[in-house]
């Protein structure tokens, strides 16, 4: 086929993503925040009685994902709002007038990068926790154990998907501050709302990102009433798809 395609546009997006400092700061901060949370949790449990279980250590040492999701979500937002903040978007859309390809390339490149960073961050959280409990009576958690490996991997995937939700919101809102505010709101407000339902809260709560993360994805065994971890992650992927499709429709029809 003659003419440009996803391959060319993805190369453009890769150069763009790697050539601004905010990308690197956000990625490093995501990994460091998870590693630090893991170490903090491990140190805190060292002299704790009764002796913590392997599951306790693992569940808590992935808690840095609460912060990391906001950092990687912001990374996704900035991939698109960073262009609308300046007329850069016009340079991009003049070079690639087929806007769906631009969005698809951003999804592929940003999603891939965020997935890699998310997995790295998640393993850093796990590792931080394990290193901090060495030499204590607390049992080590081995990645050879599927119930340990699963939450670590799913948390990494969850973080990658969060960036895509950010990307979709960025395409809809177009303004960095407003889009990041919207993202944070969507991450935290539903959790508060779910709390208002009292006893029935869990029926609503199992659809809420942060509750899914803390009770279904980043835990060795999900709390009863919540979906299995992989279903929760798929649900997150569904949210990301809705945001991106909505953003894509708007991107196609709006003047740049």
Partner 1 sequence: MVSGLSAGAGLPSVEEVIELRELSKRYGGRVAVDGLSVRVRPGVVTGFLGPNGSGKSTTMRMILGLDAPDHGEALVGGVAYTQSDWPLKTVGALLDAGAFHPGRSARAHLAALAASNDIPGSRVDEVLGIVGLSGVAGRRAGTYSLGMRQRLGVAVALLGDPAVLLLDEPVNGLDPEGIRWIRELLRGLAAEGRTVFVSSHLIAEMALTADRLVVIGRGRLLAETTVAELAGGGDSLEDAFFRLTSQATDYRGSEMS
Residue 28 interacting with partner 1 (CB under 8 A): no
How would you class 102 by CB atoms within 10 Å of its CB: exposed for 0-12, middle for 13-18, buried for 19 or more?
buried
Count, residues near partner 1 per rule CB under 8 A: 31
- Nearer CB in complex with partner 1: 21/137: 21
Distance of CA 198 to the CA centre of its chain: 28
Q: Is 250 in the site for partner 1 (CB under 8 A)?
A: no
Q: Does 11 bind partner 1 (CB under 8 A)?
A: yes
Q: State the minimum distance, in angstroms, from the CB of residue 132 to partner 1.
A: 36
- Alpha helix (H) ranges present in 47-64? 54-61
Site residues for partner 1, window 152-211 (CB under 8 A)? none
SS3 227: coil
- Which residues between 91 and 150 bind partner 1 (CB under 8 A)? 91-98
Nearest to 176 by CA among 56, 75, 96, 101: 75
Q: Which of 38, 63, 76, 82 binds partner 1 (CB under 8 A)?
A: 82
The CA-based angle 127-130-132, given to 5 degrees, is 105
217 contacts partner 1 (rule: CB under 8 A): no
List contacts with partner 1 (CB under 8 A).
2-4, 8-9, 11-13, 15-16, 19-22, 82-83, 86-88, 90-98, 253, 255-256
């Amino acid at each position: 086929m003659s003419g440009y395609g996803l391959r060319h546009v993805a190369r453009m997006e890769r150069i763009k993503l790697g050539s601004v400092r905010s990308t690197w700061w956000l990625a490093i901060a995501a990994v460091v925040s998870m590693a630090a949370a893991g170490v903090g949790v491990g140190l805190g449990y060292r002299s704790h009685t009764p002796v913590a279980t392997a599951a306790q250590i693992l569940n808590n040492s992935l808690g840095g994902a609460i912060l990391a999701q906001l950092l990687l979500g912001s990374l996704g937002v900035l991939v698109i709002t960073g262009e609308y903040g300046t007329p850069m978007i016009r340079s991009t859309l003049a070079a690639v007038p087929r806007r769906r390809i631009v969005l698809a390339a951003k999804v592929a490149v940003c999603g891939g990068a965020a997935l890699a960073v998310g997995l790295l961050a998640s393993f850093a959280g796990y590792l931080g926790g394990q290193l901090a409990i060495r030499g204590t009576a607390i049992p080590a958690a081995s990645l050879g154990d599927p119930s340990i490996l699963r939450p670590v991997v799913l948390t990494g995937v969850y973080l990658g998907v969060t960036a895509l939700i950010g990307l979709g919101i960025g395409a809809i809102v177009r303004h960095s501050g407003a889009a990041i505010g919207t993202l944070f709101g969507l991450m935290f407000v539903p959790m508060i709302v779910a709390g208002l339902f009292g006893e029935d809260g869990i029926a609503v709560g199992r659809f809420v990102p942060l509750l899914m993360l803390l009770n279904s994805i980043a835990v060795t065994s999900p709390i009863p009433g919540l979906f299995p971890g992989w279903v929760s992650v798929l649900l997150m992927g569904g949210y990301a798809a809705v945001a991106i499709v909505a953003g894509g429709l708007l991107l196609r029809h709006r003047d740049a």
